Amino acid sequence: MARIVVTGGAGFLGSHLCDALLARGDEVVCLDNLATGSTHNIEHLFGRSDFTFVEHDVSTYVWVPGPVDTVMHLASPASPIDFERIPIQILKVGGLGTHNTLGLAKAKGARFFLSSTSEVYGDPQVHPQPETYWGNVNPIGPRGVYDEAKRFAEAMTMAYHRHHGLDVRIVRIFNTYGPRMRPDDGRAVSNFIVAALRGEPITIYGDGSQTRSFTYVDDEIRGFLALLDSDVTTPTNIGNPDEYTIRELAEMVIEVTGSTSEITTHPLPVDDPMQRKPDITKARELLGWEPTVHVRDGIARTAEHFAKLLADR
């Protein structure tokens, strides 16, 4: 049994991680300022003796009383709508928040786990993207607040590893989806499913030929734990290498939900990547991990969640 601090633990990914850690016998201290997370995601854990929730912004000083074995830093708004809505907060949690949580890990002699992103690759000129690719990021574009915050967070994490000998793990996440996503978070999967369930037009950008690789949340969290328990200290892609165009995703959502929605098109946003697909050779060889949930099955599970959510509103 380990005592693990999870920042952003009331968010989409963070709440699933809290569930998985508790299920395997760990104690969890969840920190979240609820900027994009929600207590609804973790309310089923309230009252457990092995779970503690603290409402706190990790961009300010972070301290957790008692022993800590691992700090898992997931806190950060990660949806496109947030890049314009709260850009400064995103930069602060990626910079100051990472610094503060690294400081906590160093003070406690704990392992540090950074949740990074495929966005560090930007609009990639190498396909698929291996961890050795340095990326093609516009630092001053609207997406740069998230991309560069995560790139800086990786740099700081590796600096603590080299300079202070801190034991670190860095995961690069690729388009994860599943229950507990915000229905209005601006990501393709949630946007498409909610529109389909309401019978509203599904909006794609450009001609929909841009590609993404979608990872179901259960697979992603299983990859997190495999990386956490390994001795791999360098960035590792955890994503699904099955690649779909955005138009294919929209058509699949319509089919799975039985919707009558039509597909409409809007101009591409600035710096929207045209391709995104992980090379997961490293995860397969060093962690023994690969995804098992097919996108169609994951879409069906996610649609079931959103259907219930919309019915309860």
Residues acting as catalytic residues: 146
| Contact of 224 with 289, CB cutoff 8 Å | no
The CA distances from residue 262 to 70, 164, 269, in Å, are: 47, 55, 21
Rounded to whole angstroms, the Cα distance separating 105 from 122 reads 29
Q: What angle do CA 163, 168, 171 make, to 5 degrees?
A: 130
Contacts of 107 (CB under 8 A, 6+ apart): none
Q: Where are the beta strands (DSSP E) in 133-234?
A: 168-173, 176-177, 202-205, 211-213, 215-216
| Cα–Cα nearest to 58, from 18, 109, 115 | 115
> How many Å apart are CA 23 and CA 67, to the nearest integer?
20
Beta bridge partners of 169: 113
DSSP annotation of 285: I
For residues 141 and 59, give the distance between their C-alpha atoms in angstroms, rounded to a whole number.
23
